[in-house]
Structure 1
C-alpha cells in the first residue's frame, strides 16, 4: 500500500467515522479538509467548507482567530476548553478546541469536540431511566384504575336492565359514559407500548399527512413552512405512530403561540455518526419542528416529556409524553431547545432497512425546498 493509498484510507475510513470534527487549516484559517463530523457541525458539505475560511463559517472571538492564525504560522499547538462558536445558521455550540501543527507543512489540524453533545447524551440516558420509572408507575396505576372502572361499568349496565323508569336510566347512562371517558383517558396516558406495524415508507409522506391534518384547523395567525431534504431515503417505520408524534409536537407549538402571529417550520435533514442511547448510527434522519413562539419555561425543561406535565392551564400533559414514547419505540430520541422567540423540537430516528418491505412510498422527490404550505 502506497503512502497516497494509506492517506486516502485514513481520510475515508477513519476520520469520517469520528465524532470529533476535524478540519485542516492554513495560516489564513482557510479550510483545506473537513471530515463528516465537521460537515455535521457546520451544516455545510465539505466542498463548500473548503471554499472559505473558518471565520466565514462560524463566529469566533477575534482574539482566538488571531491566535489560531499565528499558531499555524509558527507551527505551535494550542488547546482551548469550552469555547462557544456560532454557526452561520445561528446555532451555538460549546467545543473543546485543539490545534496540532503538521510537520514539514504550513498546515495544522484543528479538532473541535462538542462538549454539549456528550452532555446531551448523558442527559438523555438519565432522562430515559427516569421516564421509564415514571411509565412503570403509570402502568401500575392504570391497571389499578381500569379494574374497578370495569366493575363499575358492568354494575351500571346490570342496574339499567332492572330499571323501567327512563329518567333513572339516564343516571346509569351517565355512569357508563363517565367510566368510558376515564378508561379512554387512562389508555391515552399509557400511550403505545410497541410499534404496531413497521414497513418501508418515506418520512415526507408522513409529514405531508400531518400537514394536511393540521391545516384543517390551523389558526389564521400561524403560517406553516416546510423545509425538506428530498434525498432522505425510505426507512422502516410505523407511519401512523410517527404521524401522531409529529401531530402532537405541531399542535403543542400552535397552542404555545396562542393568538400571536408566527411561523411553524417542519424541517428534515440527515445526520452522520450519531449516538442514540447506547448505539452508534452511521446515518439518521432529523425532523425538526421549529416555532417562533414565547418559548418554554426553564422550570419545565427537565420534565417536559413526563406524563401529566404541562405549562398550559387547560393542558393534560399527554401530547409530548406520547410523542417521546413513540420516538423511543423507534430507537430514536427527541431533543428540545427553547428560548423566547425560538423553540425547536428535534426528532432523531435511525434509518432502518430491516423489516417487511411493502409498497414503496409515494412521496414526490422533486418537491422544492423551503416551500410555504398551502393553507
Structure 2
C-alpha cells in the first residue's frame, strides 16, 4: 500500500479532529472527526477561509497569521469556537506550522473540552446517585422494620379493644404505617427490570402529550419538534412514558405557579447524536429527547440536587418524580441532564440506539 494512502487512512480514522490550512488560512483538508465536531463537510468547505468554518476571537486569527509568518507553533486552551450552525464549542487546539516547499501549512489538532467536562459531570452525578441509593436503602431498612412491628401491634390491639369505636385510633396507626411504608417504597424505586420491546420514541411522547393536554384541559401550549428518521428503540414503553411524564408535569406545575397555563410553552424535541459517551461507553448513535419549558427555572441552589429523593422546589412537592425518572433512564443504560435559568429549563434524555 502506498505511503500516502496509509497516511490518509491514519488521519481518517483518528478520533482527534485534524484541520490543515494553507498559508492564506484556507481549508486544505479536515478528517472525519473534524467534520463531525464542526458539523460541516470537508469537501464542500475546501478552500473556504477559516472564519467561514468557525469564528473565534480576532486575537486568535492574528496568532494563526503569525504562526504562518514565523513558523512558530503554539497551543491554546479552552478556546470558544462558534460553528457555522451556531453551536458553541469549548476546545483546546495545537497549531503546528509545516513547511511545504515554498509555502507554510498549518496543522490544527482540535480536542473538544465539552465532552470531557460533560463526562466528568456525569461521573459525579452517577457517583452521587449510587451514594444516595445506598443511603436510602439503609434508611428504608431501618424505617420498615419498626413500622412492621407498629402495624402488627396495632392490629393485635384492635382485636382486644372492648368497644368498636376505639378501633378508629388503631386504624389511624395502621393507615399511617402503610402510608410511610408506601413512601419508602417509592423512594427506593422499582426493583423490576425494564420489559424491553421495540418502540417508537414518538409514540411515547405523543402519549405523554395526550395525558398532559387532558390534565391541563388543553390550556398549555405543547410544541412538537420531532426527527422522523429516528429508528425504533429497545425500551420499556410504560416506564419511559412515566419518566417523560414526570418531567412534563413538573414543567406544567412550574409554569402554573408563575403564569397562567395558556402563557406556558413546553417543547418536546428529538434528535440523533453520533459518537456520544454514556458511562465510559462510547455509542455510535444515541437518541436525544429534549423537554424544554419557558417557566421560572430551577433555583440555582437546587440544580445540583434535583435528582435526589425528597428534594423539591415546590412546597407541596414530594421530590420523588425526578428521582424515579433518573432511575428509569439509568436502567435503560441512558443519561439524563438538566440545564436551567429563568425563562428556560431543558431536560435532556440520551438513550443508546444500538
With the shorter chain as reference, the TM-score category is 0.7 to 0.9
Unpaired segments ≥5 residues, structure 2: none
Q: Which residue of 2 aligns with 1:139?
A: 137
Number of the residue aligned with 2:289: 287
Give the equivalent residue in structure 1 for 2:45: 50
Question: Where in structure 2 are the equivalents of 1:336-375 lying within 5 Å?
Answer: 336-352=338-354
Evaluate the alpha carbon distance shift between residue 77 and residue 124 of structure 1 in structure 2; reply closer, same or farther with a 3 A threshold: same
Tell me if the contact between 1:331 and 1:349 (Cα under 8 Å) persists in the aligned partners.
yes
Q: Does the 8 Å CA contact 2:339/2:346 hold for their aligned counterparts? A: yes
Structure 1, unmatched stretches of 5+, are 353-375
Deviations 1:154-177 (A, max 9, x none): 444444455685543444433333
Using the TM superposition, give the Cα deviation of residue 250 of structure 1 relative to its aligned residue in structure 2, in angstroms: 1.6
Cross-structure match for 1:301: 303
Number of residue pairs aligned between Structure 1 and Structure 2: 347
- 1:136-161 deviations in whole A, cap 9, x for unaligned? 11012112222333333344444445
Cα separation, partners in 2 of 1:110 and 1:265, compared to 1, 3 Å: farther
Residue aligning to 2:57: 61
Q: Measure how far apart 1:304 and its partner are.
A: 2.3
1:338: how far off?
2.0
Displacement of 1:78 in angstroms is 4.0
Partner of 1:363: none
The change in CA–CA distance for 1:173 and 1:342 in structure 2 (over 3 A counts) is: same
CA distance in 2, matches of 1:78, 1:288: 38
Q: Equivalent residue of 2:317, what SS?
A: coil
Q: What's 1:244 paired with?
A: 242
Q: CA 1:73 to 1:6, structure 2 compared with 1: closer, same or farther past 3 Å?
A: farther
Q: Tell me the CA shift for residue 11 of structure 1.
A: 5.2
> 2:78 is matched with which residue?
82
Q: Indicate conservation of the 8 Å contact 2:268/2:291, yes or no.
A: yes
Q: Secondary structure at the match of 1:304?
A: coil
- List aligned pairs for 1:103-182, cutoff 5 A: 104=100, 108-160=106-158, 167-182=165-180
Shift of 1:85: 2.8
Taking the TM superposition and a 5 Å limit, the aligned residue runs for 1:251-262 are: 251-257=249-255, 258-260=257-259, 261-262=263-264
Pair 1:185-2:180 in alignment: no
For residues 322-333 of structure 1, what are the structure 2 equivalents within 5 Å? Answer: 322-333=324-335
How far 1:35 sits from its partner (Å)?
A: 5.0
Q: Which residue of 1 aligns with 2:94?
A: 98
Q: Secondary structure at the match of 2:182?
A: helix
1:6 CA displacement: 3.5
SS in 1 for 2:265: strand
Aligned to 1:314: 316
Aligned residues of 2:288 and 2:348 also touching (Cα < 8 A): yes
Report deviation, 1:26. 5.0
Give 1:23-38 correspondences, 5 Å limit: 23-26=19-22, 34-35=30-31, 37-38=33-34
Corresponding residue for residue 372 of structure 1: none
The 2-side partners of 1:101 and 1:60 are apart by: 19
Root-mean-square deviation (CA, aligned residues, Å) is 3.2
Matched, 1:9 2:5: no
Query: Is residue 102–residue 108 contact of structure 1 (8 Å, CA) maintained in 2?
Result: yes
TM-score by length of 1: 0.79
Matching residue within 254, 274, 277 for 1:275: 277
Q: Structure 1 residues 2 and 86 mapped into 2: Cα distance closer, same or farther (>3 Å)?
A: same
- For 2:227 and 2:31, how far apart are their aligned partners in 1? 21
Is the CA contact 1:82–1:94 (under 8 Å) kept in the aligned structure 2? Answer: yes
Match of 1:263 in 2: 265
CA distance in 2, matches of 1:107, 1:146: 70
Cα distance change, pair 253–349 in 1 and its aligned pair in 2 (3 A): same
Q: Return the offset for 1:232.
A: 1.9
If the length of structure 2 is used for normalisation, what is the TM-score? 0.83
- For residues 250 and 34 of structure 1, what CA distance do their matches in structure 2 show? 41
Aligned partner (choices 312, 334, 337) of residue 335 of structure 1: 337
